[in-house]
Chain A
Amino acid sequence: MSETNIFDEMWGRDEALRAPYNEFQSWFQGEDLKRLRAKQREAEEVFRLTGITFNVYGRSEAEERLIPFDIIPRIISGREWQKLCKGIEQRVRAINAFLHDIYNRQEIIKAGRLPLEMITKNEAFLPQMIGMTPPGGIYTHIVGVDLVRTGPDQFYVLEDNARTPSGVSYMLENRETMLQMFPELFSRNRVQPVQNYPANLRRSLAACAPNRCEGKPTVGVLTPGIYNSAYFEHAFLADQMGVELVEGHDLRVIDGKVAMRTTQGYKAVDVLYRRIDDDFLDPLNFNPESALGVPGIMDVYRSGGITIANAPGTGIADDKAIYSYMPDIVEFYTGEKAILENVPTWRCSEPDSLAYVLDNLADLVVKEVHGSGGYGMLIGPTATKKEIEEFRRKLKARPGNYIAQPTLSLSTVPIFTKSGLAPRHVDLRPFVLCSPEGIDITPGGLTRVALEKGSLVVNSSQGGGTKDTWVLED
């Protein structure tokens, strides 16, 4: 796969400026590199002072890092976005229908479209959810659908994040920073706003309150605490929504409700946007060692006393092993062909696929089924012989633990470097809100960018950065 084959979102494949970048390019040509370099530093200062940092696991408290921010916006036309939205909405509807089915009648298994062991042997499947329908029938209230692009009209879903997708605070702060630094760019382009996200999130969560809730629902954000890597985001969202940010020890079960300890006594919570994993949610029902959760919250949940968003057990839908079945899942529940394509995926649990993968390791990306954050994966084309052989051993030992995909030639967008613009690979995480009132997709989302030339790894834990993402009003 040669470099020239790569689609650049500003210059296409043949150095012809693409329409969404017209205004940007004419602005950029009039800019002085020195001024832009100063702006880049200014942006970093803003992020540091605002405390938009993430904590690095396993380090001391002093280690709060900035996720690098690149000042060049990624620009998507309104028409392109509309098409994406249709696909995202279809996929998210299917995921919620799938979750309801899998924890209730399991029609998809009866129909032979999904093997039973995909459920029974999956740690993400929560037996505690069997036979239960969450308030409003919504399982995954907040979804992040990770997309990559390989051509003008070719997008793939890389993975679905149906548990607790993070990064939305960066989307919002990136925009805020850009508005402050380059107001003139926003005067020249009509960029669809993202600032309504916190208000929409609150409305969406409130719309999922349990039936038993009378009056205006009390919403809270549940965080593991200030040492969690995403604490900034938890505080940010609670602040922007105007709701309480609670930890497990602020909550307890009283009279069949979950209540938070306030200066005036205990007050019931109706909807809890939790940012802790299923396993830590309730020491009585899950991991008994958990000090982060609320003892008995699952019992309140099952009796309809509280809404937990996202619902426990949603991980079964974004599991990498299930991923390969997504086209079938979408079709099964919507009756339509999936609008957004999956990346072709070999399930190493199947002998034929495993044989193919072992023969072609140097060309493939191999991922752990339950891994996340870019850890424990092999990128064949850039790996050393030794790394490939190591992975070969791992694969043979536990084939069911892996899936493999072709290396896609991900699109690039320009970033700002010392010598001007330079192309780097990106992905996109749009944020989706689901409630009985409907599905709401914020225009754009979080663009993650691999800052190293040629690198395909965009994860912030491994040197990736972020960009403001613009969807233009056509």
Chain B
Amino acid sequence: MLGKTANGLYWMFRYLERAENTSRLVETGQRIGLTRLGQDDDEWGSVMQSASVLNGYNASHDEVTKDAAIDWMLRSKDNPASVLSTISEARQNARMVRTALTHEVWEAMNGCYMAAREALARKVSERDLPAVLGLIRQRTALVRGATHGTMLRNDIYNFVRIGTFLERADATGRILDVKYYVLLPSAMAVGSSIDNVHWETILRSVSARGGFRMAYGSQVNAHDIAQFLILDRRMPRSLNFCATKIHANLRHLATDYGTEPQSLVMSQTLVDRFLKHDIDSVFDYGLHEYIQTVLSTLGRLGGQIEKDYRFYE
């Protein structure tokens, strides 16, 4: 496979995952805003921070308002992480790697792009927001489903999965990073309704309310949430789950190609050093520092994969 193709597959699925994550965060912000008393839109600052789009927003806006935030996250062409920008990028990458995709995957991707472009052609009214978010969820899921159902399990698929899980781990890590203070043991004692809002935000941001209830019951506490999002091996968006998947795909590539590249060593280290503990030792280490370290390791791992598999040169 061409290095360029590996690069295109990796980024196609990173962008697709990013589009999903951003639209999920919009959904969370909207939901929290609607169910909370009070008038200010301060939740949107933290939502945009979780999506890593707050700096860009602040550079072109004077204040954070709900309408402007939603528009920035969903449609803005000036925001490279907006849903529309990321879906366009995903599709552009798909065009580039057209020969590596099945007909079904390409059609689903192209259909996703056409539907998103139409739905996001104009500012989305509050009334239409749920339908537009639903559409994006469905269309991106269709691409993933077609990928899962029709692609060979070879190196092409490995790069698809590596891109997906690196992006996902990054997203979960960032959400945790923005909200880490609510998860600290000192916050547990408080247990006020404000904290409940924060916890709900966190769980909604990773589509995990149902999963959490199933695994831990209906009693929400910070300890369990941290455990769930960082270490739980059943939770498909937890850091542990994502890192394990990245490692497994790198391992598969290494076996396939008969090499032992640096990125494989790095992913092994990531899993061994950070994700085989219990949550108390994470708190002992320092939650914030821990998340920061994992995030920067993920960043370096991405860079190493680009080198090992000749994405650019």
Contacts and interface: CB of A to CB of B under 8 A. Distances in A.
A264 interface: yes
Contact of B114 (A49, A61, A245, A260): A49
Which of B92, B95, B99 is the most central at the interface, judged by chain A CB atoms within 10 Å of its CB?
A: B99
Nearest to B253: A263
Interface string A246-263: 110110000000001111
Contacts of B309: 263
B289 interface: no
Interface stretch (A72-80, A86-94, A231-239, A435-443): A231-239
Contact of B310 (A231, A236, A247, A261): A261
B1 A262 contact: yes
A238 B100 CA distance: 10
A51 B98 CA distance: 10
Contact of B99 (A51, A244, A249, A264): A244
Interface in A26-53: 48-51
Given A235-B98, A261-B310, A263-B6, A49 B110 contact: yes
B106 interface: yes
Contacts of A260: 2
Interface string A101-130: 000000000000000000000000000000
Interface residues of A, number: 23
A226 interface: yes
B99 A265 contact: no
A49 B257 contact: no
Given A226-B92, A247-B4, A262 B99 contact: no
Contacts of B98: 51, 235-236, 239, 245
A50 B103 CA distance: 8
Interface in B72-93: 92
Interface string A220-231: 000000100001
Contacts of A48: 114
Contacts of B4: 246-247, 249-250, 261
Contacts of B5: 244, 263
B107 A49 contact: yes
B155 interface: yes
A231 B2 contact: no
Given A262-B2, A263-B6, A50 B107 contact: yes
Where chain A touches its partner, the secondary structure class is mixed
Contacts of B253: 263
A315 B260 CA distance: 48
Interface string B105-119: 011001100100000
Contacts of A239: 98-99
A261 B310 CA distance: 7
A246 B2 contact: yes
Contacts, number: 60
Interface in A137-189: none
A299 B96 CA distance: 29
Contacts of B2: 244, 246, 250, 260-263
A202 B242 CA distance: 41
B1 A51 contact: no
Interface in B139-188: 155
A113 B95 CA distance: 48
Chain B interface category by residue count: 20 to 34
A51 B96 contact: no
A226 B96 contact: yes
Nearest to A265: B310
Given A226-B95, A261-B310, A51 B3 contact: no
Interface string B1-40: 1111110000000000000000000000000000000000
Interface in A406-437: none
A263 B3 contact: yes
Contacts of A49: 107, 110-111, 114
A22 B57 CA distance: 66
B95 A235 contact: yes
A262 B92 contact: no
B117 to A, nearest CB: 8
B95 A263 contact: no
Interface string B193-234: 000000000000000000000000000000000000000000
A231 B92 CA distance: 12
B99 A263 contact: no
Contacts of B106: 50-51
Contacts of A231: 95
A245 B107 CA distance: 19
A263 B107 contact: no
A186 B313 CA distance: 50
Interface in A312-327: none
Nearest to A242: B99
A231 B1 CA distance: 19
Nearest to B110: A51
A244 to B, nearest CB: 6
Nearest to B4: A250
A49 B103 CA distance: 11
Contacts of B107: 49-50
A61 B3 CA distance: 24
Interface string A351-364: 00000000000000
Given A231-B95, A235-B99, A245-B99, A262 B110 contact: no
Contacts of A50: 103, 106-107, 110
Given A51-B106, A239-B98, A250-B4, A263 B310 contact: yes
Which of A49, A51, A238, A260 is the most central at the interface, judged by chain B CB atoms within 10 Å of its CB?
A: A51
A355 to B, nearest CB: 52
A244 B96 CA distance: 12
Contacts of B92: 61, 226
B108 to A, nearest CB: 10
B257 A263 contact: yes
Top 3 A-B residue pairs of the complex, sorted by shortest distance between their CB atoms? A235-B98, A239-B99, A263-B309
Given A61-B92, A261-B313, 9 more contacts: A49-B110, A49-B114, A51-B98, A226-B92, A231-B95, A247-B4, A261-B2, A261-B4, A263-B5
Interface of B: 1-6, 92, 95-96, 98-99, 103, 106-107, 110-111, 114, 155, 253, 257, 259, 309-310, 313
15 contacts: A50-B110, A51-B95, A51-B106, A236-B98, A244-B2, A245-B98, A245-B99, A246-B4, A261-B3, A261-B313, A262-B1, A263-B1, A263-B155, A264-B257, A265-B310
